[in-house]
Structure 1
């Protein structure tokens, strides 16, 4: 067990993982707004960056932070892309449909098609750079398994990497986040406008 400077202690009768009472500085808030892709993506983004920062500052635990950090990065990418696709669908079709699969490359391609369909440039230099990054992540972790399990369902080793430069990982992730989060904000604004227009039309219909 990789817990330093801790005295051994063991479960006792009545212990639970989840209780809702405690001191204010002990309580984290989970409410229904966190049932949306964007809020989940924000949480995984924050967790990944915090883990990388811990890894960069802790040589003893550095290697142990890497697996969950990269898993969170990949999961952020998947959730953010689903959020973007869902947002565009709401703006164009007034539904909240999103792809149910986990294939990152397909999600990226589906997003670009949807983004272009609303008149946006899906081939600018930022997206061209992200093309290669998505291809890279899809190669090393095609099914979100490589940083969760040592082997796949057939027993094949999932890990193709040996070393990762953490500073580069963090910087590249931040650059991608600026693009994805910026697009998410733009789509969110348009979704709000769409929702307001739909509400006005509905209200006028019944007047």
Structure 2
């Protein structure tokens, strides 16, 4: 994977190139997580701003998880024997649709995982989906129909939320890395076969 730095060749006035965007999916995914972690550290260290920063924290972690799950789906489909049997909408933001597909694909392409390994991810996905089904409630105070977002949620312990998200993210990062390794092995093997 190439560098995620923006092009800087002399005379190159392009700031963003297509290649740049393709190489940096992980930077996006990890960037949302790190931003949430930074905000939580600020809240913990200063004892201030939780009432304002809780919404960005929730959104950043939720979006991180969505992107990471989509990344895993893409890697698993690249490894699957019959990827066409696992069609999904790439513009779907519903974690209750995305996670079950990822959870089905992972053991299909890497048999080292058992369903029980993903207990924390299942818990986090369920909680996030219940709070923000359409991936908009953490971003907007009101819905298009005029009702209040996050109805019924009165308090969020950002530190505890961050710990749970960290556990789920670390597990999924491991899956992501493992699938990348398997994809590299597959490419290497195909290269060897093509040389005969």
Bin of the TM-score, shorter chain as denominator length: 0.7 to 0.9
Do the aligned residues in 1 keep the contact of 2:120 with 2:167 (CA within 8 Å)? no
* Greater Cα shift, 72-81 or 131-140: 131-140
SS of structure 2 residue aligned to 1:66: helix
Distance 2:174 2:115 in 1: 16
Which residue in the other structure is 1:45 paired with? 33
Do the aligned residues in 2 keep the contact of 1:45 with 1:72 (CA within 8 Å)? yes
Do the aligned residues in 2 keep the contact of 1:81 with 1:108 (CA within 8 Å)? yes
SS of structure 1 residue aligned to 2:134: coil
Indicate whether 1:83 and 2:97 are aligned. no
Indicate whether 1:114 and 2:105 are aligned. yes
Which residue in the other structure is 2:12 paired with? none
Indicate whether 1:166 and 2:192 are aligned. no
Deviations 1:21-61 (A, max 9, x none): 9xxxxxxx977455353331111111111111112223342
Distance 1:60 1:121 in 2: 41
Which residue in the other structure is 2:145 paired with? 154
Do the aligned residues in 1 keep the contact of 2:124 with 2:165 (CA within 8 Å)? no
SS of structure 1 residue aligned to 2:143: coil
SS of structure 2 residue aligned to 1:186: helix
Name the TM-score, length of structure 2 as normaliser.
0.79
SS of structure 1 residue aligned to 2:115: coil
- Bigger relative contact order, structure 1 or 2 (CA pairs below 8 A, ≥6 apart): 2
Superposed displacement of residue 184, structure 1: 0.8
Question: Structure 2 matches for 1:135-150, cutoff 5 A?
Answer: 135-150=126-141
Out of 161, 182, 193, the residue aligned to residue 185 of structure 2 is 193
Structure 1 ranges of 4+ moved more than 4 A: none
Do the aligned residues in 1 keep the contact of 2:120 with 2:164 (CA within 8 Å)? no
Superposed displacement of residue 198, structure 1: 2.9
Which residue in the other structure is 2:56 paired with? 68
Which residue in the other structure is 1:175 paired with? 167
Distance 1:198 1:99 in 2: 29
Pairs aligned (count):
177
Deviations 1:54-85 (A, max 9, x none): 12223342222111111010001100001111
More helix by share: 2
Gaps of 5+ in 1: 1-19, 22-28
Tell me which structure has the larger Cα radius of gyration. 1
Name the TM-score, length of structure 1 as normaliser.
0.75
